[in-house]
Structure 1
Amino acid sequence: MNAEVKALAKASSFTPPPLRTVKAANRLTRFYFNPQFQGLDHVDPLKPALYVCNHTLYGMLDGPLLYEKMYEEKGIVLRALGDHFHFKIPLWGKMLKRGGSVAGTRENCAQLMEQGEHILVYPGGGREVAKRRGEKHKLTWKTRTGFAHMAMKYQYPIIPVAALGADDALDIVVDAYDVMQNPLGRWLLKHDKNDILRGGDMIMPLCKGIGPTILPRPEKFYFSFGKPIDSSAFLGMENDKEMQWQLRYKTMQAIEAELSKLREVRKRDKDNSLIRRLLTQR
């Protein structure tokens, strides 16, 4: 059995972990980041959808909390399409697989859609995770339109999801630009025969959180689900590149609008303890 067939088999033969296990695993981060959610009324467990979300710095802090909330409140076990690099990280990769994540290929996405799964995708992929200075809350999707193609083909509604907070929990000290301007960095890129660094896109930043440490500041996390975007108007147009870009642009606008709403929610949120306020000061 080749690797592609094995991947498809795993995508279709998934048994969700018990909710209590998910909640136990998230207990510390849930307490630490105190996540807030809005717009869950736009989520219908009986209508499978493609949840398109912005990726935050490192891509590891807020995703599990989003997964837990959907599981607990809606009974939905999100099947996430992840960048291949996630599955190469010890422990983290195994945890993702146990939660139902699969490599973000069109074949895996098609398999999940044919099964009627609720699917989470981050079009920014690894590049949006490896943020650089000035890219806080920025959507960095390059030329990707694959999610739009799949939504059109399988007539999946798109639910825009915005995540705010994780990008504020850490400050970037050294980013990819710094590395690529360094002689050692240029040498590494030149000799990256397997394209692991993807031309610099996968050079992760060096960050600091509380004081000089790498411990993230306990910023409150905020999530917002926007109104579903109907893909029926694009029926039969999945191979039309212009239509893909139209749906992509519509989705980006919706996510950016939800991010703007969350910034206002955060400004008005006075429910912060003294300790949290002290630890989140820069």
Structure 2
Amino acid sequence: MRAVTDDDAAAAAAAAAEEAARETRTAGPASMPGIPLEEIVQAVVGASQRVLGEDWEARLATMISALRHRLAGDYAVDEFGFDPQITEILTSAVEPLAETWFRLEVRGAENIPAEGGALLVANHSGTVPIDGIITGYAVKKYGGRDLRPLGADLVFALPFIGQMARKVGATLACTEDAERLLASGEVAGVWPEGFKGIGKPFAERYKLQRFGRGGFVSSAMRAQVPIVPVSIVGAEEIYPLIGNVPSLARLLGLPYLPVTPFFPLLGPLGLVPLPSKWIIEFGEPIRTDAYEPDQADDPMLLFNVTDQVRETIQQTLYALLVDRGSPFF
């Protein structure tokens, strides 16, 4: 028998290496050590579906199409600065937050008028006004209308935020702008509690603050459009307000500087909203065309209608809280 030489050993090693390389080329990535490529792709697609929904591809295509039109300059804005394409993009972007994170349930969407003007009046809460964004999403998604929010002066004084607010349809909460929007057939939204609503302590959650002097009722009466009470449950729990830093808030020109169980303790991570269960109910419209437009100057009538709207929202909030049960399960 011939002894194995160094040349024979080298030849055998070379043949084994060639065979291993051939098997690797034939098998492809699936036989490589670690997680197979197809499983990685499936995991990414599955995660996308869970976060963005089953129709995530269509939603992504809509966003890309809108961006392409914008890059081409193919878009228009109205006299208030409202940009419908931006609203479409925002609706697609907000949908995972509303439907998956907040598990949004919408009731009474049929009470949003299919055409013509209307004034939606809602409770305000949440430390950060995310409830306005989610309400706008619900009106667009379930009512097929664009919501035109009426915002405070501070919103439009903030850099970037003020510009974006204009583009998504918001305008200043003044009588003139409100009446112009409503008379032109738009759906406007107002949160009469203002900063006192979103900045109230967690211990006072779902207890409505003052609704002002009824300016929103006056605008609806002059435009002869219905008032739709909107009750929102869920926003109070996303950033539980347990404290405030008034001195620093005054220095920054803010109405309040919130302290929550997670902010500023956890830094940017504390800005992630808690996944509370949301319910938005659009109540039966309150007609204002039963009154003459000049009755909008009657302070007692304005007070009575304002109190009717406020009490309707408050009682609906109590009922929704019972229906919802635990905010996180």
TM-score, structure 2 normalization:
0.67
Counterpart of 1:163 in 2: which secondary structure?
strand
* Cα displacement string for residues 58-115 of structure 1 (whole angstroms, at most 9, x for unaligned residues): 3432322221222123220011101111223444333322110011111111221221
Match of 1:21 among 89, 92, 95: 89
Task: Output the amino acid matched with 1:247.
Answer: V
CA contact (8 A) 1:169 1:209 kept: no
CA contact (8 A) 1:53 1:122 kept: yes
* 1:153 aligned residue: 222
Counterpart of 1:52 in 2: which secondary structure?
strand
* 1:216 aligned residue: 273
Q: CA deviation at 1:143?
A: 3.3
Task: Output the amino acid matched with 2:258.
Answer: P
Q: Distance in 2 between matches of 1:155 and 1:97?
A: 25
Task: Output the amino acid matched with 2:285.
Answer: P
* 1:5 aligned residue: none
Q: Distance in 1 between matches of 2:140 and 2:249?
A: 42
Q: Name the structure where helix makes up a greater proportion of residues.
A: 2
* 2:112 aligned residue: 43
Indicate yes or no: 2:285 matched with 1:228. Answer: yes
* 2:257 aligned residue: 204
Q: CA deviation at 1:147?
A: 0.4
Q: CA deviation at 1:172?
A: 1.9
* 1:84 aligned residue: 153
* Cα displacement string for residues 16-44 of structure 1 (whole angstroms, at most 9, x for unaligned residues): 12664123321442221121110112122
Specify the structure having the higher radius of gyration (Cα). Answer: 2
After superposing the two structures, state which structure 1 stretch, 14-23 or 128-137, moved more: 14-23
Q: CA deviation at 1:127?
A: 2.2
CA contact (8 A) 2:213 2:302 kept: no
The Cα RMSD (Å) is 2.8
Unaligned runs of 5+ in 1: 1-8, 278-282
TM-score, structure 1 normalization:
0.77
Q: Structure 1 residues 196 and 56 mapped into 2: Cα distance closer, same or farther (>3 Å)?
A: same
Higher relative contact order (CA 8 A, sep 6+): 1
Q: CA deviation at 1:133?
A: 4.5
Unaligned runs of 5+ in 2: 1-77
> What is the percentage of aligned positions where both structures have the same residue?
25
Q: How many residues align?
A: 246
